[in-house]
Structure 1
Amino acid sequence: MSLASVILAFGLFAISSPLVRDGMQGEEIEVSRSDVLGYYKGQSVLEHYEEATRRVGAWASEQLVLRQSFPDRQASLLELGCGTGRICLSLWMLGYENLTGTDFAKDMIKRALQAQKERASGVRFAVEDATRLSYSEESFHGVIFGFNGLMQIPGRGNRVRAMSEAFRVLKKGGRFVFTTHDRAFPKWKKFWSVEKKKWRSGQQDKSLIDFGDRFEETPRGKLFIHVPAVTEIREDLKKAGFLVERDLLRSRVAEESELVKKFSDECRFWVARKPLD
């Protein structure tokens, strides 16, 4: 699953406001599409996700949450930000038969198709923009946006647009499952306290849009992600029309292997439902 699915088909994101808020904004700034999507074009990044698909697969916590959320193995499930197929190919191995994996990064989908052939799975893969899905209304019983992919969409309004698209393509009563980081995580409290002061004084990185945005330097390049507050996600889900069923930390769901912990950090699972009426 690549967070890359999320990097929208927009050229530039510009927002102007002198105010500081949750999703706080500074003066007029721009985050270019290439700044975000460029990370996922790197050979080492593609190989990293490909290795995770082959060696890591779905985390123990992902398997538990997804099995509980989608008990019917015949349910039609759409994965956004599938990357090289780590989650949806694992679900196929668990007996789910009606799976569609999508990603905005064409190179990720190419790798996913290769993995599909190796496993002889029936997962359908396609290139899609999470904010402008080509699927008809009420096409799926469930939508998945794993590995914090939703939070790599620059701009809060665009993230809400992706949530709204998930809502639109879900059947009534269908669930939307995704993960995020959380600014309240103890290990990051000091960092965000310092960042908040920077935003209030106008000293933040001007290439960022919202408070909670950050660029992380990794061995494979510069990675963009938005780290939200719990209240922010609840507000945005409500705006998109969802009812929040639950949110829980990965560490509270299952004890992950060292391999999984090496691949990914702590995160928060969200399970939201489209109302029946």
Structure 2
Amino acid sequence: MNNNDKKVFHNQNTLFKYGNAALNIKLWNSEKYLITKYAKLDDNILDLGVGSGRTSFGMYELGYQNISAIDISSSMIEQAKWINQKLNYKILFEIQDATKLSFNKNAFDFALFSFNGWAGIPSENARIKALKEIFRTLKPGGIYIFSTHLRNDERYLKNYQKYLVSCDEFKYEMYGDYIFKNQEDHYDFMHLYSLNELLNLIKINTKFQVIKVLDRDRNFIESQMVLEFADNTTFFVLKKPFNTEI
């Protein structure tokens, strides 16, 4: 069983990268468009996998102030709290696992899991648990937005075995699991779905309605700083139906 709290998110180089993004990049143009389209300023917002707070600080500066920001990495949350204090912002940062959230049901109007964070949870069962927990904590009519890389099978089959033997932190459990070395030369994990696989997973395991799927680079122009920070990704916009209890 893979551990949800990855070593890479306690690494000093990674912390520096995410801290810099929290201070200097904040929201991408694509994220800003989607957030302002689907979230009202007075909404209760759940920001998941926040790292050092990049998206949380960006939303706060747009006028969103009811933000609960969580990440499983204590090192990331410690850095986010430090930045929060220095900026004199009032964002609630907490260490939490997305697969077992402490919040009550129907607590949030809007949820965001940015930068491929949901697909980076290193277990299919855990990813499904996280989806169900986000669904539980959203109000009926609430919106959940996440981003992920979609799988290119030719590229995946060529590369997926490269680090299977040398990495002892993550285990290959199913087709689509991808163990790789990131820009800081540390092992990381992401599950790569095809579009149909992901749509079926959402349909089979949750009552979410998929209302939009958007390729970032086909629909938005991002700054050079954003392009260097993160390569292309696909956004999914989900809605919790009004006629549901949990």
Describe the shift of the 1:154–1:218 C-alpha distance in structure 2 as closer, same or farther (beyond 3 A).
closer
1:223 counterpart (188, 206, 212): 188
1:133 counterpart (101, 104, 108): 101
Contact 1:154/1:209 (<8 A) preserved:
no
Distance (whole Å) between structure 2 residues aligned to residue 115 and residue 48 of structure 1: 14
Question: What secondary structure sits across from 2:80 in the alignment?
Answer: helix
Tell me the equivalent position of 1:232.
197
Distance (whole Å) between structure 1 residues aligned to residue 112 and residue 60 of structure 2: 14
1:49 counterpart (7, 13, 18): 18
1:39 paired with 2:3, answer no
1:210 counterpart (152, 164, 174): 174
Question: What secondary structure sits across from 1:152 in the alignment?
Answer: coil
Q: CA deviation at 1:69?
A: 1.4
Which runs of at least 4 in structure 1 moved beyond 3 Å after TM superposition? 193-196, 203-206
Distance (whole Å) between structure 1 residues aligned to residue 225 and residue 163 of structure 2: 35
Identical-pair percentage: 28
Report the TM-score, using the length of structure 1 for normalisation: 0.81
Tell me the equivalent position of 1:28.
none
Q: Which residues of 2 match residues 1-277 of structure 1 at below 5 A? A: 13=1, 31=2, 33=3, 37-70=6-39, 72-184=40-152, 189-194=153-158, 205=164, 207-220=171-184, 221-238=186-203, 239-277=205-243
Contact 2:48/2:98 (<8 A) preserved:
yes
Q: CA deviation at 1:210?
A: 1.8
Tell me the equivalent position of 2:168.
none
Q: CA deviation at 1:97?
A: 1.4
Report the TM-score, using the length of structure 2 for normalisation: 0.91
Distance (whole Å) between structure 2 residues aligned to residue 204 and residue 118 of structure 1: 39
Q: CA deviation at 1:139?
A: 0.3
Distance (whole Å) between structure 1 residues aligned to residue 183 and residue 64 of structure 2: 35
The number of aligned residues is 236
Q: CA deviation at 1:262?
A: 0.3
Q: Deviations over 1:126-167 (max 9, x none)?
A: 111100000000000011100000011112121111000000
Q: Structure 1: which 5+ runs fail to align?
A: 1-12, 14-30
Question: What secondary structure sits across from 1:112 in the alignment?
Answer: helix
Q: Structure 2: which 5+ runs fail to align?
A: 166-170
Question: What secondary structure sits across from 2:99 in the alignment?
Answer: coil
Q: CA deviation at 1:229?
A: 1.0
Question: What secondary structure sits across from 2:119 in the alignment?
Answer: helix
Describe the shift of the 1:108–1:170 C-alpha distance in structure 2 as closer, same or farther (beyond 3 A).
same
Describe the shift of the 1:272–1:69 C-alpha distance in structure 2 as closer, same or farther (beyond 3 A).
same
CA RMSD in angstroms comes to 1.9
Q: CA deviation at 1:195?
A: 6.1
What amino acid sits opposite 1:276 in the alignment? Answer: F
Distance (whole Å) between structure 1 residues aligned to residue 214 and residue 223 of structure 2: 19
Contact 2:217/2:232 (<8 A) preserved:
yes
Distance (whole Å) between structure 2 residues aligned to residue 211 and residue 83 of structure 1: 27
